[in-house]
Amino acid sequence: MPGKKILVVDDDPYILMSLEFLMQKNGYSVVVARNGTEALQLVQQEIPDLVVLDIMMPDIDGYAICEFIKKQPALNHIIVVFLSAKTRESDQRKGLELGAAAFVFKPFSTRSLIKEINQLLR
Amino acid sequence: MSSWIIAGTALGYLLLLSLLAWSAESVRKKRKSWINNGYVYALSMAVYCTAWTYYGSVGRAATSGLDFLTIYIGPTILCALFWPVLLKIIRICRTQGITSIADLVSTRYGKNFSLAVLVTIFCVMGVIPYIALQLKAIATSFDLLAGTTGNTNQSIWKDSTFYGTLLLTIFILFFGTRSVDAAEKHEGLIAAIAFESVIKLVAFLAAGLFITYGVFNGFSDLFQQANAQPRLQQLFTFQENNAYTSWFSMLTLSFFAMLFLPRQFQVNVVENLDENHLKTAGWVFPLYLFVINLFVVPIALAGSVLYPGATANPDLYVLNIPLDQGRHLLSLLIFIGGFSAATGMIIVETIALTTMISNHLALPLLFSTNRLHQESRRNLSAVVLWVRRGSILLVIGLSLLYDKLVAEQYSLVSIGLVSFAAVAQLAPAVLGGLYWKGASKNGALAGLAAGFICWMFTLLLPSLAGAGLLDNSILENGYFGISWLRPDALFGLTSLDPVSHSLFWSLLLNSGLFVLVSINGQKGTRETFQAELFVDFLTKEKFEVEPAAWKNTANLPALRLLLQNFIGSERAVSLFQKYASRHQIPLNTTTADPRLVQFTEKILAGVIGSASAHILVSRVAKAEELSMEEVLNLLRESQQMMELNKELRRKSAELTRVTEQLSALNRQLMAMDEMKDEFLYTVTHELRTPLTSIRALTELVHDNPEMPENQKTEFLAAVVRETERLSHLITQVLSLERFESGKQPLELQTIQTKELLDEALSDIQPLVQQKKLRIQTQLTHPFQLIELDPILVRQVLYNLLTNAIRFSPESGTILFAAEVSGNHLEISVSDQGKGIPEAALELIFDKFYQAPNQTLKKPEGSGLGLAISKKIIELHTGNIRAENREDGGARFIFILPLSQINL
């Protein structure tokens, strides 16, 4: 849905670059965070509608950020989509249990990712 | 003191003993026996200390000095040093159901009947005087206390000995014949005996303390007064030469007495509940002997000082002194102590002798007359019990008789020594039988008979003659008037005291004949078999009686009936069933398995002795006597079996070890597997990241042709860089794998240190310039030659230097140093970055380790550089470590040997 705000969190600058382009191209306003600390700060400051969240980051991992979001009454409406190279089933289950709406494996297809996000924000 | 008070106290004491014995028996039925411990066992062993110790030691000390001690040194040596002998006897007796010393000798030599009879007669003759001695001690102490004079001529109905004996007999009858199975323990009795040991010790110590501190003024006063008398001085020094021989012979006697005296055999072996108790007894018993002897010399000296003109019997000093001091209560206590010493001995000795007499003399006699056999349907256990009771009366009666006729004339100790010398004759047959397979039945018979006769002629008959029962002239002129047959100087040997003399000749003849006849004679098959069992008993673990060795078969109902007759049908049936189920023998056949026959014989042996049991069982069993060769074959087979068993056990232990090793290896492999999995997972994760960028960026370029040109270039440049990163990562993973699996050989070259450093520097020159850094090099020995794989080490240097560059601040300085120390080269790279957290100093060498708390990922690193570097250095048998510099920044140091040759 155009006009909605998306926070993209990833510690890899190129992935961040591609995601930012993809979201903007589809009419979303985009905020980027390059690590967990920035992500925590921006999610409270910007209150996005959806967060695309990497898991393995050097400071705070994606699970902790998701947990934080889902526990805050002011934030828990935010849709979380994990985007991770962690491909074990247990990783996925853990993410979904924490309240994420989707768990997308890296490397991902930009086409299906945007389709998924569009659906979630409809 | 009134006789009635004394008699009443003694009676009360006996009642107390009965109560104790009775409560011990009832506790035993609850299977939680408080007498089942090493202390009670050791105290029951102290039945060794009889009235002889209690009264006689003082007497001996007062007349002959210190040699009374030898009687206690022998048993101390046995318990402290030679306990394995005792252990072996205990184990053999338990497995074979042996209940007496006569039984032991007979069983060892093929369950020989004559040997059992000989040993029994011998023990009875040897020990009766000893029992009489105890009766005498009770009587004389009683008379002294009561103030009556022991008059032998008075009617037996007025004799204190007689009444005391009567009471004691009732006690023994009651507690000694409660069970028909002599192999069963007399827990009640043992409790009573242990209690008596405590009482006699306490009473004797009380006497000693009173005399030393109450009558005299402590030890020093006592010794000073005694020293004033030259006779006493003389007493406590070795005087003549033969004092040493006398000491030695007494020591030998007491050593053997501790092993072979029937009562010692009874408490040491038959009544032993648990062989572990032997360990406790090994120190408690010697300690007991030590304590009870503490006051012997002081009392003897005190007596000699107080009664200088031999006005009192030295044997009774211990009672006499307190009595003369008017201490009636103490005297009564001391009397009870002596009473307990005497009664303890009489009780145990009588039971031991009774078992022998009934099992080896009376019962075989009854069974050999066919009358009993015909009446075999009657309950024979009652017969056995009545025979035992009769035997008790016989033993006590004989002792009383000896006491009346002979004992009056002799001191306590000399009577005791006669007994000791008698049982010492068992030494060759028993010890030889335990440790020498060549010992034979005929040898044992010949030796024992010779020793016995010699003992009779040199000690027993002279004592009878001394009492006026035999012609006194034999003492002076020798037997039959032949002077070299004088009892105390056989063959003209005059230099020894009577006991040493007797011991010398009897043991010489005894062991000489034993060995000679054994060597020269033939042995029977059963004998050979038992010899194997006895001698190899401890070396061959759990060498149980091998019943199949005897091809005995029997009619099963008849066999069962036989056992029933002695132990009752209920117990017989249950024993049969237990044994049959353990050995998987069918019980519903008419012919009994040979093992069952053997088992029955063992059980019966416990009741009526092995010789009698053998006679009875062979009546119902058709014994097929085996030839010598067959027995030897059986023995050989069993030996082979045992060796096979040992081999099997060894194999199985080995198997267990291998299994353990395998499972350890398996665990290790699984751990490695897990690590490998984890590694692979991390690798794929690391590979996914650049792949993700590449895929996303190319898709976006592809799907968005309208993308501005500069953005398209930026995207494609990122794709190129990520592709490089990907291939670098793959190379790193593969090389690490090569190093770890050892597939990468070192290509060694000898180069100059300077060369190595220069090449490394040229590799990183572009990066240095980019970041405007300064590299400071320090090289102590530029031309030092070093042997290494230059390509790999260059890779290490590259890794370390690029790391340093990455973490250095703009225009910082990197220190690159190399120095030679000993036969090593040490290279270090230091930067001015923010250093490494202490906890991470070692972890950074792990694969894919990422320093925590960094907010930005460094896309340049693969996370494998340090792991690979470490691997390379280790391949060169060097080591690498990281540390923080004092002024901030990190330093990596690695050390390489200059030469790889000697490694």
Q: Do B700 and A21 touch (CB under 8 A)?
A: yes
**List of residues 6+ apart from B648 with CB closer than 8 A:** none
- We report the CATH number of the domain holding residue B767 as 3.30.565.10
B553 contact A CB<8A: no
Q: Which residue did the predictor score with more confidence, B891 or B532?
A: B891
| pLDDT of amino acid B695 | 92
Rounded CA gap, B134 and B703, in Å?
Answer: 123
Residue B427 scores a pLDDT above 80: yes
Rounded CA gap, B497 and B493, in Å?
Answer: 10
Q: Do B859 and A12 touch (CB under 8 A)?
A: yes
For range B527-540, the mean pLDDT: 67
Q: Render pLDDT for B229-257 as a digit per residue (tens, 0 to 9).
A: 766 666 666 555 556 777 788 888 888 88
State whether B658 and B806 are in the same domain.
no
Contacts of A109 in chain B (CB under 8 A): 695, 699
Q: Do A18 and B715 touch (CB under 8 A)?
A: yes
Q: Render pLDDT for A70-95 as a digit per residue (tens, 0 to 9).
A: 998 989 899 999 998 888 888 899 99
**List of residues 6+ apart from B655 with CB closer than 8 A:** none
Most confident of A57-61, B375-379, B584-588, B880-884: B880-884
| pLDDT of amino acid B546 | 47
State whether B710 and B764 are in the same domain.
no
Q: Do A56 and B685 touch (CB under 8 A)?
A: yes
| pLDDT of amino acid B279 | 85
Query: What sign does the CA torsion over B238, B244, B246, B247 have?
Result: positive
For range B529-558, the mean pLDDT: 60
Residue B858: pLDDT band (50, 70, 90) is very low
The alpha-carbon radius of gyration of chain A (Å, integer) is 13
B722 contact A CB<8A: yes
Residue B704 scores a pLDDT above 60: yes
Residue B51 scores a pLDDT above 90: no
In a domain, B347, yes or no: yes
Distance of CA B460 to the CA centre of its chain: 40
A122 contact B CB<8A: no
State whether B158 and B225 are in the same domain.
yes
Helix, strand, coil distribution of chain A in percent, nearest 5: 45, 20, 35
Q: Which of B681, B692, B855 sits opposite A35 (nearest CB)?
A: B855
Distance of CA B52 to the CA centre of its chain: 32
In a domain, B123, yes or no: no
Check: CB of residue B565 under 8 Å from CB of residue B380: yes
Q: Do B855 and A58 touch (CB under 8 A)?
A: yes
Least confident of B20-29, B659-668, B683-692: B20-29
Please give, rounded to a whole number of angstroms, the shortest distance from the CA of A70 to a CA of chain B: 23
| pLDDT of amino acid B855 | 44
Q: Which of B685, B703, B715 to probe the A interface (max A CBs under 10 A)?
A: B685
Residue B701: pLDDT band (50, 70, 90) is very high
Residue B66 scores a pLDDT above 70: yes
For range B643-654, the mean pLDDT: 80
Helices (H), B808-885: 865-875
Query: What sign does the CA torsion over B881, B886, B890, B894 have?
Result: negative
Which is nearest to B28 in space by CA: B273, B283, B332? B273
Distances in whole angstroms, Cα of residue B209 to Cα of each of B136, B217, B295, B302, B736: 26, 11, 8, 12, 88
Please report which helix (H) or strand (E) contains residue B322, including its range.
helix B317-324
State whether B580 and B515 are in the same domain.
no
Domain endpoint, select from B695, B720, B740:
B740
HEC-encoded secondary structure of B694-713: HHHHHHHHHHCCCCCHHHHH
State whether B416 and B429 are in the same domain.
no
Bridge-based pairing of strands A50-53 and B774-779 is: unpaired
Residue of A nearest to B692 (CA): A107
Q: Domain containing B860: what range?
A: 745-897
Residue B683 scores a pLDDT above 60: yes
For range B782-800, the mean pLDDT: 88
Q: Which residue did the predictor score with more confidence, A103 or B270?
A: A103
Contacts of B850 in chain A (CB under 8 A): 58
Residue B660 scores a pLDDT above 50: yes
Least confident of B9-18, B546-555, B714-723: B546-555
Most confident of B275-279, B684-688, B877-881, B897-901: B877-881
Please give, rounded to a whole number of angstroms, the shortest distance from the CA of B772 to a CA of chain A: 25
Residue of B nearest to A54 (CA): B689
For range B598-617, the mean pLDDT: 74
Rounded CA gap, B7 and B732, in Å?
Answer: 106
A12 contact B CB<8A: yes
Q: Do A58 and B857 touch (CB under 8 A)?
A: yes
Q: Do B853 and A88 touch (CB under 8 A)?
A: no
B853 contact A CB<8A: yes
| pLDDT of amino acid A48 | 94
Contacts of B854 in chain A (CB under 8 A): 58-59
Contacts of B689 in chain A (CB under 8 A): 12, 15, 85, 106
B143 contact A CB<8A: no
In a domain, B206, yes or no: yes
- We report the CATH number of the domain holding residue B688 as 1.10.287.130
State whether B776 and B866 are in the same domain.
yes
Q: Render pLDDT for B121-156 as a digit per residue (tens, 0 to 9).
A: 888 888 888 888 888 888 888 888 877 654 444 444
Least confident of B27-36, B441-450, B747-756, B861-870: B27-36
Residue B552 scores a pLDDT above 80: no
State whether B55 and B193 are in the same domain.
yes
| pLDDT of amino acid B582 | 79
Least confident of B75-84, B559-568, B836-845: B559-568
Distance of CA B272 to the CA centre of its chain: 14
Q: Do B684 and A17 touch (CB under 8 A)?
A: no
State whether B193 and B312 are in the same domain.
yes
Check: CB of residue B380 under 8 Å from CB of residue B562: no
Q: Do A14 and B704 touch (CB under 8 A)?
A: no
For range B375-388, the mean pLDDT: 69
How many domains does one find in chain B?
5
Rounded CA gap, B58 and B74, in Å?
Answer: 18
Q: Do B692 and A108 touch (CB under 8 A)?
A: yes
Domain endpoint, select from B397, B424, B451:
B424
A5-121 maps to which CATH number?
3.40.50.2300
The encoded tokens of residue B217 equal 């003024």
Residue B903 scores a pLDDT above 80: no
Least confident of A50-64, B103-117, B189-203: B103-117
Q: Do A111 and B711 touch (CB under 8 A)?
A: no
State whether B165 and B308 are in the same domain.
yes
Question: Listing from the earlier edge strand, what are the strands of the sheet with B591-592?
Answer: B591-592, B553-555, B621-622
| pLDDT of amino acid B308 | 74
| pLDDT of amino acid B89 | 86
Mean pLDDT of chain B: 79
Q: Residue B619 CB: number of other CB atoms within 10 A? A: 15
State whether B725 and B766 are in the same domain.
no
| pLDDT of amino acid B632 | 58
Q: Which of A11, A12, A14 to probe the B interface (max B CBs under 10 A)?
A: A14
Residue B458 scores a pLDDT above 80: yes
Q: Do A107 and B695 touch (CB under 8 A)?
A: yes
State whether B165 and B16 are in the same domain.
yes
| pLDDT of amino acid B859 | 44
For range B580-599, the mean pLDDT: 75
> Per-domain residue ranges for chain A?
5-121
Rounded CA gap, B463 and B472, in Å?
Answer: 10
Rounded CA gap, B533 and B839, in Å?
Answer: 69
The encoded tokens of residue B181 equal 């199975």
Rounded CA gap, B858 and A11, in Å?
Answer: 9
Domain endpoint, select from B544, B577, B611:
B544
| pLDDT of amino acid A28 | 93
Least confident of A96-105, B367-376, B549-558, B723-732: B367-376
Q: Which of A34, A85, A111 sits opposite B689 (nearest CB)?
A: A85
Q: Residue A72 CB: number of other CB atoms within 10 A? A: 13
ipTM computed for the complex: 0.92
B858 contact A CB<8A: no
A26 contact B CB<8A: no
Please give, rounded to a whole number of angstroms, the shortest distance from the CA of A77 to a CA of chain B: 27
Q: Do B855 and A25 touch (CB under 8 A)?
A: no
B689 contact A CB<8A: yes
B837 contact A CB<8A: no
Q: Which of B693, B699, B850 sits opposite A12 (nearest CB)?
A: B693
Least confident of B222-236, B508-522, B617-631: B617-631
For range B451-475, the mean pLDDT: 74
